Chains A and B, each alone.
Chain A
Amino acid sequence: MDANASARLKKRGSAWALNIALFISMLIICLPGLWIVLNSLRPTVEIMAKPPVWIPRELSFDAYVDMFSGVGQGGIPVIEYFRNSVIIAVTSTIISLAIGMSGGYAFARYRFKGKSAWFLGLMLTRTVPGIALSLPLFFLYAKVGLIDTHAGMIIAYTALNVPFTIWLIDGFFRQVPRDLAEAAQIDGCTRWQAFWQVEFPLARPGIASAGIFAFLTSWNEFALASQLTRSTDSKTLPVGLLDYTAEFTIDWRGMCALAVVMIIPALLLTYAVQKHLVSGLTSGAIKG
């Protein structure tokens, strides 16, 4: 066997090894998700069985049927929770993105007094764990009447998300050469048009990822929501999970079913947005 053949074999061998390693790690990552889907389809006895039952004996959609069958018949107000979650997550994502884009653009493009101090300040707010804010926030909200309202949750989540969206979007605007917006202005754009025609499309991957992050944070957040929401007026899906806990029992199957209901929109959204997450959009703008 000559050196070329053995090198080729080695290359193919390591490609295979890499694939297998990737498969195993993906399996580990996906297993909890699969487990949740599986558990939502089978009775609690089987869920709690030791050793675990890997292959379910029978599958049923009872948990889902129950969930939607209304309060009092083993159901929970899932429609209301879902509506609250969507309103709160979508609105706060949109606001976070709007602020993130303006802020990120300003940090990337303009020089102003105290710029780095501002930036550091924004980042520092992230070092405070969200849960530590819940009590002060609770008192504040109670005073101004924001407890158990959409607005209250939207404000809280927006505040939580903005530093991150600014930071992420700033990085992407930095990668867009200044010359491009200037060229666009010379080509007849206003400052505003130059932004939307040239800079925005090029920073889109950053804006899309910031959007996904902001949405998922709001969608999945539990600690703050459990403090600041009370009723079906504003309770979100994660808080709704608690409806399946009674004093002495936990309905694991129902909980898993609700978790699946939560996961699906997040998955769909991520899937829809991921095509914008391409890298290297700005290559080719300059030089040779």
Chain B
Amino acid sequence: MATLTLSTLDKKYGGFHAVKGIDLEVADGEFVALVGPSGCGKSTTLRMIAGLEDISGGELRIGDRVVNDLPPRDRNISMVFQSYALYPHMTVAENMGFSLKIAGRDAATIETAVKEAARILDIEPLLERRPAQLSGGQRQRVAMGRAIVRDPDVFLFDEPLSNLDAKLRGQMRTEIKQLHARLGSTVVYVTHDQIEAMTLADRIVIMRGGVIEQVGTPDEVFNRPASRFVASFIGSPPMNMAEATVTRGALHFDDGTEFPVPPAFTVAEGRRVVLGLRPDDIYPEGHGIHSESGHAVERRELPVALSEPLGNETLLFTEVAGQNWTARMLNPRMVKRGEVLRFHLDLSRAHLFDAETGLTLRG
């Protein structure tokens, strides 16, 4: 196990700047998730850590060794590929024992290690099969088994669950979490699924266009997003947003709606801002999640455009400030289309971002 340090790590593909000098410190045993939209440089970053991609600039350290120019095999890392990348001409056991075989361990050691990993992942009956004879979920397990057997300093995962169906993905997510708890290993996990990131990670790194937008615990990135981008990326359904101008201490929206400035913020007169409010913080009266005591709550009569019952909750769609907003109704009851409900908007939990830079205006 080891720490992992990225200092102004840079990657250029010819003229294209894919990763722009990112800094990141991963503690020993920490689980860090790299999230961001497609093409933001997550895989590139991971592949630089793995040694599969040349580093154009900056420094990469595992433990206290600088590994910039070491080949992958000298970095003592394991990687689970999105495609699993199992060796099709080897059995499951051979796949899992391959790294030890290359390292020149004797057959007995290899067998013990493979058996142990197979037991942990519950794939003992599959050991003699070939990858072609496995289901997608089983291949996924074998790929993880191959990573475990190596007993690396750092585990790297590149979207390991994205080829699985929703149910299996949920199940494997839990297993990865248990596995991490059990092995206590340092993990860098790339995903574009923010739920995966939230549930698994100790800290989340949100990337966009080759730069890090925010690093923080799931709680921090959810409750104190550093930018409009982070706010819209984390959380499902996504945060509701609307642009406004600050005049006479209030938010004036383009359609004429007016809200007070949320209490946690002080903004200059005339500034263009974006108000962000999570679906959890707009709900019909008596159907909210959070306590309202001491909160600045706005009350509005709004017609429901559409409702999506999910059983334990219902998502309501309604127009606020000219935008189509989503509201979350707990303890739901039947809501008819067009029905006018009294909505509470908990402005104490709202966010304000600069309309131009997208950065948070929280002090």
- Chain A contacts to B: CB under 8 angstroms: 177, 179-180, 182-191, 193, 197-198, 201-202, 280-288
Contact = CB atoms under 8 A, between A and B. Distances in A.
B194 to A, nearest CB: 23
B5 to A, nearest CB: 20
Interface in B70-88: 71-73, 77-79, 81, 83-88
Interface stretch (B129-137, B170-178, B279-287): B129-137
B87 A285 contact: yes
A283 B77 CA distance: 26
B139 interface: yes
Contacts, number: 95
Nearest to B163: A287
B107 interface: no
Interface-centre pick from A186, A198, A283 (highest chain B CB count, 10 A): A186
Interface stretch (B96-104, B112-120, B206-214): B96-104
Contacts of B66: none
A185 B88 contact: no
B136 A285 contact: no
Nearest to A283: B132
Contacts of B130: 284
Given A284-B130, A285-B131, A288-B163, A185 B85 contact: no
A189 B85 CA distance: 15
Given A186-B78, A202-B89, A286 B73 contact: no
Interface in B27-75: 50-52, 71-73
Contacts of A183: 79, 81, 85-87, 146
A177 B83 contact: yes
A184 B51 CA distance: 12
B109 to A, nearest CB: 14
Contact of B133 (A177, A189, A202, A284): A284
Contacts of B164: 288
Given A284-B132, A285-B84, 18 more contacts: A180-B87, A182-B81, A183-B86, A186-B50, A186-B51, A186-B72, A187-B73, A187-B146, A187-B150, A188-B99, A188-B103, A201-B89, A283-B88, A284-B88, A287-B136, A287-B139, A288-B136, A288-B137
Contacts of A288: 135-137, 139-140, 163-164
A113 to B, nearest CB: 13
A190 B85 contact: no
A188 B78 CA distance: 10
Contact of A285 (B52, B71, B88, B103): B88
A184 B139 CA distance: 16
A187 B88 CA distance: 15
Nearest to B79: A186
Interface-centre pick from A191, A198, A202 (highest chain B CB count, 10 A): A198
Contact of B102 (A180, A187, A280, A282): A187
Nearest to B149: A187
Interface of B: 50-52, 71-73, 77-79, 81, 83-89, 98-99, 102-103, 130-137, 139-140, 146, 150, 163-164
A115 B103 CA distance: 36
5 contacts: A185-B71, A185-B73, A186-B52, A188-B73, A288-B140
A286 B85 contact: yes
A179 B85 contact: yes
B75 to A, nearest CB: 8
A184 B137 contact: no
Contacts of A187: 73, 98-99, 102, 146, 150
A15 B159 CA distance: 47
Nearest to A187: B99
Contacts of B99: 187-188
A186 B52 CA distance: 8
B102 A193 contact: yes
B96 to A, nearest CB: 10
B85 A285 contact: yes
Contacts of A191: 71
Contacts of B72: 182, 185-186
B93 to A, nearest CB: 14
B89 A182 contact: no
B77 A188 contact: no
Nearest to A282: B88
List the 5 closest pairs (A to B, CB-CB), nearest first: A288-B136, A284-B132, A284-B131, A179-B85, A286-B83
Contacts of A285: 83-88, 131
A180 B85 contact: yes
A183 B145 CA distance: 13
Contacts of B71: 185, 190-191
A280 B88 CA distance: 10
Interface-centre pick from A184, A190, A191, A286 (highest chain B CB count, 10 A): A286
A281 B131 CA distance: 11
A193 B73 CA distance: 11
Nearest to B83: A286
B77 A286 contact: no
Nearest to B143: A183
Contacts of A184: 87, 98
Contacts of B83: 177, 179, 285-287
A137 to B, nearest CB: 42
Contacts of B146: 183, 187
A197 B133 CA distance: 21
B327 to A, nearest CB: 37
A282 B146 CA distance: 18
A180 B98 CA distance: 12
B319 to A, nearest CB: 42
